[in-house]
Amino acid sequence: MIEIAANPFDYSFELQKTALLIIDMQRDFIERGGFGETLGNDVTRLQAIVPTVRRVLDAWRERGGFVVHTREAHRPDLSNCPPTKRLRGNPTLRIGDRGPMGRILIAGEPGSEIVRELAPVDGELVIDKPGKGAFYATALHDELQRRGVTHLVVMGVTTEVCVQTTLREANDRGYEGLLVEDGTESYFPEFKAATLAMIRAQGAIVGWTAPSERLIAALRA
């Protein structure tokens, strides 16, 4: 059993029953010229967490833990991207449009790939998801259940959208989730702060939060 000092109280997990879930660390969200920047966002905020995510990933891999990566990626014909998602707002590029890294958020395009520093290795699960939550219209729940996973350690972007949605979906399905505080980021710092507070409020109503250094130390103890 691994135990770390977390908020609002200690978080305990068995490595063999826990998955490290890394959400949407894709070029389209993190690199210059991607979808995130076309929406007017400062992508350097998201780029800054890549080394932290990598440190946690390395420590997890050293222990032989199970890793899941997600990508927000739609079919080329956009059949799993509803108009309510594609046509919202007034961006310079929309999902499916051609950008500097290929078609925006389309499976198989360069921009939809996970950044090089965090690329999956053999044996790690990669889930393409059409929605904000990692459980919606994917095989994630079945894959976790098949492996006996009960706990999730979560990192990725953006904190208030895909990360929070996934944690809430996980909570409703009975998983105990920990969000790594410095392993997640938002284009809007106030949104990240609010999300962390909401997740751990009322006795971990959605889940726990903790800094990466505590998790890494516990893994390497």
In sequence order, the 6+-apart residues with CB closer than 8 A to the CB of 116 are none
129 given a catalytic annotation: yes
Q: Which residues contact 35 (CB under 8 A, 6 or more apart)?
A: 28, 29, 93, 95, 99, 104, 105, 111
Query: Which position among 24, 28, 81, 192 bears the catalytic label?
Result: 24
182 included as an active-site residue: no
CB 134 within 8 A of CB 70: yes
Active-site choice (28, 129, 132, 192):
129
How far apart (Å, rounded) are the C-alpha atoms in residues 185 and 156? 7
Catalytic residue of the set 28, 81, 132, 162: 162
Residues 6+ apart with CB under 8 A from 125: 66, 67, 68, 69, 143
Is 162 a residue of the active site?
Answer: yes
Report, as residue numbers or ranges, the catalytic residues. 24, 129, 162
